Amino acid sequence: MIDYFWLIPMPVLFTMILTLLFGKKLGLKSAYLGMLGTIASFCMSLSVLPDVIAGTVKQVEFTWFLNFKFGFMLDPLTITLLLLVSFLATFILLYANGYMHGEGGLMRFFAEVQLFTFSMLGVVIADNILQAFIFWEIMGLCSYLLIGFWFHKPSAAAAAKKAFLTTRVGDVFMLIGILILYTQTGSLQYHEIFAAAANMDPFWITAATLGLFGGVIGKSAQFPLHVWLPDAMEGPTPVSALIHAATMVKAGIYLMARFMPLLVLAPISQNFMVIIGLITALGTALMALTATDFKRVLAFSTLSQLGFMVVALGTLNMAGAILHLINHAFFKALLFLGAGCVIHVTGTNNIWEMGGVWKKDKVTAITVLIATISIAGIPPLSGFWSKDEILIGAAHANPIFCGILLLASFLTAFYMFRLYYVVFAGKPRTEKHGHACGKTMLIPLVVLSFFAAFSGLFSKPIARFITGETMAHGSNTVMMISIVVALLGFLLATVIYGWQKISAAKIANTFKGICTLLINRYYIDAAYNWFCNHIVVGLAKVADFFDKHVIDGIIHIVRDVTLLVSKAAKWVDIYIVDGIIRGICSGFVFGGSEIRKTSTGQLQQYLLLIAAAVTVMIALVWGGLL
Amino acid sequence: MLEIGLTHYLLLGAALFAIGLFGAIGKKHVISILLSIELMLNAVNINLLAFSKFLPLSNGAGEIFSIFVIVIAAAEVAIGLAIAIALYRSKGSLDLDKFNLLRW
Amino acid sequence: MMQSIVFFLLAALTLGGALAVINLKNIVHSVLCLIVTFLGVAGIFLTLRADFLAAVQVLVYAGAVSILVIFALLLVNQGDGKMAETNPYSRFGYLGVAAAMLFFGFLSFSLIKTTWQTTGIAAAATSVGEIGVRLLSQYVIAFELAAVLLLVAMVAAIIIGREVKDHA
Amino acid sequence: MNHLLTFILFTPLVAALLVFLFGTTTKRAKWIAFAVSLIPLVLSVFALLGFDWTNSQLQFSVLIPWIQDFGISYYLGIDGLSMPLVMLTTLLTTLTTLFSFDVDHKTKTYFTLLMLLETGVLGVFMSLDFFLFYLFWELVLIPMYFLIIEWGGPRRRYAALKFFVYTHVASLIMLVGIIAMYFVAGRELGYYTFNMIEIMQKVHFASSFQYLVFPALFFGFAVKIPVVPFHTWLPDAHVEAPTGGSVLLAGVLLKMGGYGLIRIAFCLMPEAAKYYALPMAILGVISMVYGAFLALAQDDMKKMVAYSSVSHMGSVLLGLAVMNVNGFNGAIYQMFAHGLISAMLFMLCGILQHTFHTRRISELGGLANRLPRLATFFVFTFFASLGLPLLAGFVAELLVFLGAFSVYPALTLVAMISLVITAAYYLWALQRAFFGPYRESLEVHHPHDLTWYQSVPLTVLGALVLFFGICPAPILNVINVSSQYILQLLGGVL
């Protein structure tokens, strides 16, 4: 089996094609078909796991065209993500079976979800950056199609466009990174690049890693390209879960982890990543405070958590990043699926229209609670362990980093519990009614909650498996502070939203300016909109004007001048060239009409003239003149 | 007197031709002009015969030519007179000054 | 000697007749003088030993043509009694004299100036038989054409001379 | 001698004659044109199968002296450079013929002109004699002119005249260059010949001469490509031309410029090509970015697509200007891929025009709800055109960028702006025209989804775009051999 590990993503592709062919007939059952593929992939991954644990690193290469190769590799990082993605995709598909009940376009939906999963697997298993980029872009396409699934909604169409374009900007940077790598090392294979890295000019290493990180900023939605992710909530909830937990945003983290050997050599890039990560972690956590849409709060929390992971990568703490990636995948998938259930039950997205869901749907409430505790970083649930790992890494690099992350961590605990209290506690705030969730929706919740709770306990073996080195023993101080901070956040949320001792509205009033700023997401979206609508489209309009009036104007001037010249030539032709001809002609006509007068019709006159002429001729002959 | 040679005959022909020419130009009557033309033709015949007789290489061709000239003259007279009659019928006159039919 | 006298007499006869043809006022007289000229020319032919041609000249010109002209004249001038004024000069009369004189002058000048490579004596007479043979062998095409021309001329003369019927 | 190429070249001419003589009814004209146009397609597939792709020399060549006094010969041949373009031409003509089944106005003449056009274009791609080349080059203009002026849109007179005069002036300037080469080569060889290959192999033009003549040739080809700032005839011609005309114009005619640039300008004037490489690269980048911005500003879908052609063909010029194997492969592959993709784009625009009598994006809206198949094709084609991986356009763009970045890194960065802008205008157009709620006022046109003769060409092209995106090797192998050979001629870096 290990020799055919590169077949791991193929079942998903196969079922996707089957879905395309038979999806119309199968309808919701396409989900099971898809699950067949993801389960197959999962099992195949599982079957090669022992070999990988035993230390096998496999690589297979084929020629794509000319000297470009496509190839697959299997190492601990890859297998971890393969397992994670196929596992999560299986349950998301199962969930979608229930969630998408009664929707149209199911064939399209399930095919796209499977393609999405397939491309994520493709990114992970690729052994060269070009192939990763290819699947990376296909993921962009899938996100576009899935976010815009309800394309008849203008907001969905706009969000889809925004997602693709924003990530495309990042992709361009990534492509630049690829170009630098290819130009400098002459190869696109990871192992060749890493082998050549030692001889590379540090400037180019920095440039290449920054370029690749540009791609990560786009795909993993880091500041300043984070704007697409909150809007991506326009897609169906399973899609959100897929994007946030299993695919897309995680691809960026994976890529940087993959390029760790190169990143090690580029301190400037590391610093840059840390700064971006910190800005994202803190900035988006603040935005989550004022969000009112359930899924948006989760989106902001994803952004914030991704910021954590990027900081971890920037501090060369690969174990922390990957662990957090795994844990986050579980609890965020759980949160989204839970959110889907809540939305199903309450029939609204707005948290202020929810409330009292605890009583309506116990299963959802409990599982979401587990996820909330986990993300807040309260031990012993999973989030705590990985977050702690990241904080320790950051503290090693610079205590200030750690401080900022702790602040973000505090905010995380606060807004997550705020969300929980508002949605699940108290009484329903509106009369809207949804419908209960079916079994296919609840089973994934239960399974995922199990992993969200306990996956953190396996941090050490997983970290050793991935990085190959034993995790350094953490600092107790940092651990203690992080627990305290998380509990403080929980406490504050309980005070404000649980016991309602302090009025949230009052606080909002006090910090009105800040609140407006946060609600408007720091006006970054507005600035981008302004930039696109006025600068880019303006430039386009200017270019259009330039094209129509200047370039074409020159053509028209050339045309007019040519026409003018030809008119002048025509005048010259008529009055001068032709004039001469006609002058000659009229001279002949005039002369002829004069000479004609001698032609009297008198025979004898003619005869006389003939005689005279003959005489003259004779005379001339004898005169020697002829 | 002088020996009569080619030049004499030719001078005679020239004189006769000149008289015919004067007639053709200077007379008014159509038939008179026809007569002048006959004179010129005779002058030509004299020349032809003279050449034929006096030039060594002529081989008598002049005589044959003269015969043809006479034939053509006969034809010409016939047609000319017919035209004169037709003219007279249509115009009532044979005064050539009055005709300018060749004027376009 | 005798020969030159005969020549000059005949020449005088010819030229005198010709001048008379031009100068007489009565056209009938002119025609009669024309016959004289024709006969003179026939004599000239004889001095050149062209017997057959002389005979043809007398027969065709002095005979047939003259008769034809007189016939035509009589058809045209039907008894209006002014025969004496029938043959006037045209308005080119003097110019004609001048042109003819000049022509003759130049022509005779050139004739006299030219030196001819002559045999000196007029060649022997050509027999009628010889002429006949030549006409029907060497000149047969011209001969036939002349025959056709005569036929055509005859037909044409009839058609032209015919009285035109009034179409009205 | 193998006359396969002659058959490929003149079958369309025979087809034109057949259509003209026997296409008495609309239906008959269509079917004759379609059936006969299959013959060159099949023959060119034979040529592809019989093509030896390890050989960089000309294959299937035919050389017959024609007008010996001037050294003109009937000389045809194909190599890896022209093979893909010949395939493209025969394929697109067949599909265009099928796609044009809805032409009811003067059908017979329309198809006659299409067939005539095919002969002209094939002649350009196959002939290896300057005289023959120029003959076919000019022959292409005439049917296209009539296609625009007879079946075109409201401003067709202006567009047709602009197209004809502009490209004709350009080709005349090119002709001056060709004649200059003819005389200089003749002086050097001792005898005069129009034979490109002979001149290429035996004559070395002096540098100063090359620097002088190269711009003339370049101008002739740049107008055809078209390169900014000589591109303004293109949007007008495209917008006014009938769908079939636009498909062939974008799919095949533009490639004549790129082909000529390599075959004539680069191969015969290698020193000048290197001397002018940077200006050419700059022009290419300007075309890419400027064209993309222009496309963004358009409201007319067809005009947008037309400007996208300018943008994409700019990358051809960039790829050629960098003179390395990736750049060359990318540029030639881009010509092939763009031929397939732009053909689809213009077909789709034609369907819009046909269905809704408008192509203005602002007048459309939510079409995906009403015409899902059309929308699917649009999404597919737009993504193909914006360079989505695993579709043909991506490979080409990637190779061009890989080639360009190693020579002109800064320029390449500027060129990459076009990637984002391209995505922007396509997605924006999709959002406005296809997504959102359906605009009910469009229902007055009684829209119906694709007919069979529309979906068959689109499906074939789409399948090919996908196939050549996933495995570009069949075509790229052919191209690669030739670009290696040409680069050797250029003495450039491999």
Task: For A430-449, write each residue's pLDDT tens digit.
Answer: 766 667 777 888 888 888 88
pLDDT > 60? residue D353: yes
d(Cα A111, Cα A123) in Å, to the nearest integer? 18
Alpha-carbon gap, residue B54 to B63, rounded angstroms: 12
Q: Which of B2, B8, B33, B49 to mutate to probe the C interface, most C CBs <10 Å?
A: B49
Give which of A180, A177, A287, A160 is closest to A223, Cα–Cα: A287
Tell me the range of A2-6, A474-478, A558-562 where mean pLDDT is highest: A558-562
Question: What does the mean pLDDT of chain C come to?
Answer: 83
What DSSP string describes A432-499?
-------HHHHHHHHHHHHHHHHGGGGHHHHHHHHHSSPPPPPPHHHHHHHHHHHHHHHHHHIIIIIS
D427 to chain A, any CB pair closer than 8 A? The answer is yes
Give the integer Cα–Cα distance in Å for C32 and A597: 39
DSSP-H helix ranges across D190-300: 196-202, 207-224, 233-240, 243-248, 254-260, 267-268, 270-275, 277-297
Nearest CA among A66, A489, A444 for reference residue A242: A444
Opening angle at CA D266, ends D264 and D272, nearest 5: 120
> What is the predicted pLDDT for the residue at D318?
94
Q: Among all residues of chain C, which has the CA nearest to that of A621?
A: C110
> Residue C144, CB half-sphere, CA atoms under 13 Å: how many?
5
Contact between A118 and A12 (Cβ < 8 Å): yes
Q: Which residues have CB under 8 Å from A531's CB, separation 6+?
A: none
Statement: residue D492 has pLDDT above 70? no
Is residue D16 within 8 Å of residue D115, measured between CB atoms?
yes
Q: Which of A239, A251, A244 shows the shortest CA–CA distance to A148?
A: A239
Our CA-based measurement puts residue A501 at a distance from the nearest CA of chain D, in whole angstroms, of 45
Separation of alpha carbons A391 and A389, rounded Å: 5
Q: Find the CB nearest A179 among D296, D405, D420.
A: D405
Q: Which two tokens stand for residue D32?
A: 């004759």
What is residue D66's three-state secondary structure? strand
Q: Which of A170, A388, A397, A391 is nearest to A270 (CA)?
A: A397
Mean pLDDT (chain D) is: 90
pLDDT of A36 > 50? The answer is yes
Identity at A129, one-letter amino acid code: I
Query: At the topology level of CATH, where does B8-98 sit?
Result: Helix Hairpins (1.10.287)
Q: What does the pLDDT read at residue C123?
A: 60
Q: ∠D459-D460-D461 over CA atoms, to 5°?
A: 90
Report the 10 Å Cβ neighbour count for D280. Answer: 22
- Whether C165 and chain B come into contact, CB under 8 Å, resolves to no
A286 within 8 A of A316, measured Cβ to Cβ: no
D297 in A contact zone (CB under 8 Å): yes
* Pairing relationship of beta strands D59-67 and D72-78 according to DSSP bridges: antiparallel
Which residues of A make CB contacts under 8 Å with C?
A: 604-605, 608, 611-612, 614-615, 618-619, 621-622
Least confident piece of the model among A334-338, A387-391, A426-430, D224-228 = A426-430
| H-only helix segments in A550-577 | 552-572
In chain B, which ranges are continuous DSSP H helix?
A: 6-26, 30-54, 61-91
Beta bridge partners of A63: A69
Average pLDDT, chain A: 87
CA distance A215 to chain D (A): 13
Contact between D477 and D56 (Cβ < 8 Å): no
Query: What's the pLDDT at D220?
Result: 92
pLDDT band at C102 (very low <50, low <70, confident <90, very high): confident
Q: Which residues of C touch A615 (CB under 8 A)?
A: 99, 102-103, 106
End-to-end CA distance of chain C: 69
Which own/partner contact pairs does D58-67 have at CB distance under 8 Å and 24+ positions apart? D58/D128, D58/D197, D60/D2, D60/D4, D60/D5, D61/D5, D61/D128, D62/D1, D62/D2, D62/D3, D62/D5, D62/D6, D66/D132, D67/D131
First to last CA, chain D: 35
Q: What is the mean pLDDT of residues A353-382?
A: 84
Q: Which residues of C touch A622 (CB under 8 A)?
A: 106, 109-110, 113
Given a cut of 50, is residue A198 above it in pLDDT? yes
Amino acid type, D2: N
- Containing A58, the helix (H) or strand (E) segment is strand A58-65
Q: Which of residues 6-35 of C touch B (CB under 8 A)?
A: 7-8, 11, 14-15, 18-19, 21-22, 27, 30-31, 34
pLDDT digits (tens, 9 = 90+) for D243-258: 999 999 999 999 999 9
Euclidean distance between CA atoms A45 and A8, whole angstroms: 7
- Residue B41 has a CB neighbour count (10 Å cut-off) of 21
pLDDT above 90 covers a percentage of chain A that reads 28
Would you state the pLDDT for residue C160?
84
pLDDT in tens, D111-133: 999 999 999 999 999 999 999 99
Which chain D positions have a beta carbon within 8 Å of A154's beta carbon? 435-437
Over residues A411-440, the mean pLDDT reads 81
Residue pair C4/C44 in contact (Cβ under 8 Å)? The answer is no
Q: What is the predicted pLDDT for the residue at D55? A: 80
Q: Does A601 touch chain B (CB under 8 A)?
A: yes
Read off the pLDDT band of B44 (50, 70, 90).
very high
Residue B99 pLDDT more than 50?
A: yes
CA dihedral A287, A292, A293, A298 (to 10 degrees): 40
Asked if D482 and D81 touch (Cβ cutoff 8 Å), the reply is yes
The contacts found for A492-499 with CB under 8 angstroms, 24 or more apart, are A492/A414, A493/A413, A493/A414, A493/A415, A493/A416, A493/A417, A493/A418, A493/A420, A493/A421, A494/A417, A494/A421, A496/A418, A497/A417, A497/A418, A497/A421, A497/A422, A497/A425, A498/A417, A498/A421, A498/A425
Do residues A117 and A83 lie in contact, with contact meaning Cβ atoms separated by under 8 Å?
no
Which three-class secondary structure state does DSSP give residue A72? Answer: strand
Q: Which residues are within 8 A (CB) of A463 and not within 5 positions of it... i.e. 6 or more apart?
A: A319, A322, A323, A389, A471
Q: How many residues does chain C have?
A: 168
Calpha distance A331→A350 (Å, rounded): 21
Asked if residue A126 lies in contact with residue A132, where contact means CB atoms within 8 angstroms, the answer is yes
Q: Which of D297, D405, D416 has the CB atom closest to A540's CB atom?
A: D297
A98-134 confidence digits (pLDDT tens): 888 888 888 889 999 999 999 999 999 998 999 999 9
Model pTM above 0.80: no
- Would you tell me how many other CB atoms lie within 10 Å of the CB of residue A420? 25
Residues contacting residue A618 through CB under 8 Å, at least 6 positions apart: C103, C106, C107, C110
Q: Which of A147, A44, A127 is nearest to A86 (CA)?
A: A44
- Of C34-38, C118-122, D1-5, the range with the lowest mean pLDDT is C118-122
Q: Which two tokens stand for residue D90?
A: 């025969």
Number of other CB atoms surrounding residue A436 within 10 Å: 11
Give the pLDDT confidence score for residue D331 in this predicted structure.
94
* Rounded distance between C-alpha atoms, residue D443 and residue D448, angstroms: 10
CB pair distance less than 8 Å for A138 and D436:
no
Secondary structure (3-state) at A15: helix
| Domain-wise residue ranges, chain B | 8-98
Q: What percent of chain A has pLDDT over 70?
A: 98
The Cα A301–Cα A297 span in angstroms is 6
Rg (CA), chain A: 39
Q: What's the rounded Cα separation, in Å, for the pair C102 and C80?
A: 38
Region of poorest pLDDT, from A556-565, A594-603, D39-48: A594-603
Give the DSSP letter string of A179-192. Answer: HHHHHHHS--BHHH
* Predicted confidence band of residue D467 (pLDDT cuts 50, 70, 90): very high
- pLDDT score of D383: 94
DSSP state of A5: G
The pLDDT value given to residue C168: 47
d(CA D442, CA D355): 10
Short-list B17, B12, B37, CA closest to B27: B37
Phi and psi, residue B28, nearest 5°? -100, -35
C122-136 pLDDT, tens digit each: 566 677 888 888 888
Amino acid identity of residue D239, one-letter, is V
Q: How far apart are the first and last CA of chain B?
A: 55
